Amino acid sequence: MTPSSPSLDPAQCAALLRQAKSAVALTGAGVSTGAGIPDFRGPNGLYVTRRYDPELVFSIDHFRKDPRMFYEFTRDFMGTLQKVKPTFTHRFLARLEGLGMLKGVVTQNIDALHRYAGSRRVVEIHGSYWSATCISCRGAAAQAKSYEWWEESIRKSPRSPVLCCGTCGGVIKPDVVFFGEAVRGFEEAVQMVEGCDLLLVLGSSLAVYPAASLPQLTRAAVVLVNKGGVALAPAANRFFVEARLDDYFSQVAERLGIAIETA
């Protein structure tokens, strides 16, 4: 963001949402930090506080050799998830979709909070813990399991990886994208962004590719709301708002006359 970048107050954002026919949201870690999930790489993130090496935790080659480090990280992360709920912004986006004002969400986050908030069309390009697959048989035995299923499985297996419930005995891997794996649903994400008439970029510095390339694919208005800088060049139809997401969108919701249930 630069001083010359055009900004947008909540009333103006509400007006853009009223006019839009196919709005889309792109979300990053900043949406979930408001729920109490620190950015993994931030000063209070698990990479730092528990001294995890992300190059090993999320290495598919290392996982195949020894999945214990990933499972240790997962137990810590799920311990954090037990204490959090979707934020106002998560619930606001779900409400917009329910009202037909938002076509869907593309997210870089793996916490599945958009789904828990009630969003139906969610493209998780880095995957999430929402489903899982056996790395040996690639079967569907563990697909579409809920977070509660993971919590119970890990509780029953506190010191070892979760094994396939089939006959192969392979290790179950949550459908989180590791280094060395392709992102998920990116074609759908591209189609959503190219076809939108308003793009909300929320809680992302746009520093990680390929997600960072998505705002460049649309000629529609782009509203970027983030605490801190965003790696996107200013343009006449790009609006940069430095604000806390929940504070900003509570005002947008008020201007739209939309009531959001308290979590």
pLDDT in tens, 165-218: 666 777 888 888 988 889 999 999 999 999 999 999 999 999 889 999 999 999
Q: At what angle do helices 245-256 and 88-98 cross, to 10 degrees?
A: 30
pTM over 0.85: yes
User: What letter represents residue 190's amino acid?
Assistant: V
Sequence-ordered list of residues with C-beta below 8 angstroms from that of 54, at least 6 positions apart, any chain: 40, 41, 47
- Beta bridge partners of residue 222, listed in sequence order: 199, 238
pLDDT of residue 128: 86
Verify whether residue 126 is a known catalytic residue: yes
- CA quadruple 243, 239, 98, 252: dihedral positive or negative? positive
Q: How far apart are CA 108 and CA 38, in angstroms?
A: 14
- In the structure encoding, which two tokens stand for residue 128, read together? 């999430």
Which is nearest to 107 in space by CA: 200, 219, 227, 225?
200
Residue ranges in the chain whose pLDDT is less than 50: 1-3, 45-48, 141-144
The one catalytic residue among 62, 90, 114, 126: 126
Q: Which residues are registered as beta bridge partners of 241? A: 225
- Which domains are delineated in the chain? 1-37+87-126+183-263 (3.40.50.1220), 44-83+127-176 (3.30.1600.10)
